[in-house]
Amino acid sequence: MAILTPDKVVHRGKQILLLRFPFDKQLIKMVKQLPNAAWSKTRKAWYVPYSERMIDEIKKLFNEVAVIDTSVLDEKIAHPILKEYNLTDEATRKIEKLKSWMRSRRYSESTIGTYVGAIKTFLKFYSNKPIAQITNDDIIDFNNRYILANNYSASFQNQVVNAIKLFFAKIENTSINVELIHRPKRPKILPNVLSKEEVKKILEAHSNIKHRAMLSLIYACGLRRSELLNLKPGNIDSKRGLLLVKEGKGKKDRIAPLSNKMITLLREYYKLYKPAVWLFEGQNKEEQYSEESLAKVLKHSCQKAKINKPVTLHWLRHSYATHLLENGTDLRFIQELLGHNSSKTTEIYTHVSTKSIQNIKSPFDDL
């Protein structure tokens, strides 16, 4: 998988994000999807206007097709106040206590890293003040003088809020009322959805049955990338026509229906490859198929199908949910099939479903 390195620089008097990566036609097509993307001949790199929101957009867009190395960027956007101060011994000790508590509750290491990074930022900002004296007013002040002053995103602000709430609720007993900590309004970004015709072209593009089976199963059951790669042969219940997803996001198990068509494809694949440990193994037997290789499988399918959109594996999951909704499936069932905690997460697909919208007659037609 290619490594993409964002870098904040000043270009023609304006702050921009340089996007450095090895030559890759798919990545170039995806960069062009970003607002105001341009090529710099002098710097020999693509660039976009700098903003925290743009950083979030880049992370979302390239998450499944490239490794995003933000180490250079993180150093450059660090706030001067935070560079001048280190964490106090008290803060360091209590952050370690937070990590220990989260691990005991079996939070993922990714979530632990996000929360710890956010609370470190907050406590560095108030390194000259005892933690027990931090109040709700200080949180508001932090939002204004650090997050908003640096034009950081609502997504980052929300991460900090989550970290502060957890830290002060579980680790630090102070006068802070965590229920009064307000969250930022977040932008409502619609999921990317492919038409059924486009999905069909992608799934049928590969003659390799293993590649076809992997992509087909993601769409057929609305799987996340990690959920597909973590499947084992025993997760397939062909007699009952079910797929058991073990410890999906949030460490939740769930089941999804398997059609006869999908079961037939999996049987053909199984007879040919005879997987031992993982349902989809890498080149070495008993090793899990890699995320990078799976992304390449999708990339090649799109190229063969002549689909020029910057498709990611998650688009197939979004398309599965949207197509279910358009077929009349109840939203509550879709929520269960996708493994969503909240129905609000699933409701976003009502905004991209075209079934009802296409039946609306524009008043323009009556003119």
The answer to whether residue 318 is catalytic is no
Contacts of 233 (CB under 8 A, 6+ apart): 270, 275, 279
Q: Could you give the C-alpha distances from 59 to 45, 50, 62, in angstroms and in order?
A: 18, 14, 6
187 within 8 A of 275, measured Cβ to Cβ: no
DSSP 208-219: -HHHHHHHHHHH
Token couple for 106: 């079996």
Distance CA 156, CA 72 (A): 18
User: Any catalytic annotation for residue 103?
Assistant: no
> Three-class SS of residue 169?
helix
Q: Provide the β-strand partners of residue 38.
A: 47
- Rg of the chain over Cα atoms, rounded to whole angstroms, equals 23
Catalytic residue among 94, 124, 211, 340: 340
Q: Does the active-site annotation cover 314?
A: yes
Distance CA 262, CA 257 (A): 10
- Give the C-alpha separation, 11 to 140, whole Å: 33
Q: Are 308 and 29 in contact (CB under 8 A)?
A: yes
12 is catalytic: no
Query: Which residue among the candidates 115, 289, 320, 349 is catalytic per the annotation?
Result: 349
In sequence order, the β-bridge partners of residue 242 are 237, 257
Among 249, 296, 300, 304, the one annotated catalytic: 249
Please state whether beta strands 38-40 and 14-20 pair in parallel, antiparallel, or not at all (unpaired).
unpaired
Catalytic residue among 210, 224, 300, 304: 224
317 classed as catalytic: yes
Q: What residues does 245 pair with on adjacent strands?
A: 254
**281, 289 Cβ separation under 8 angstroms:** yes
> Which among 206, 225, 299, 317 is annotated as catalytic?
317
C-beta atoms surrounding 341 within 10 Å: 11
- Here the tokens at position 283 are 């080149």
Check: CB of residue 46 under 8 Å from CB of residue 38.
yes
Q: Which residues are catalytic?
A: 224, 249, 314, 317, 340, 349
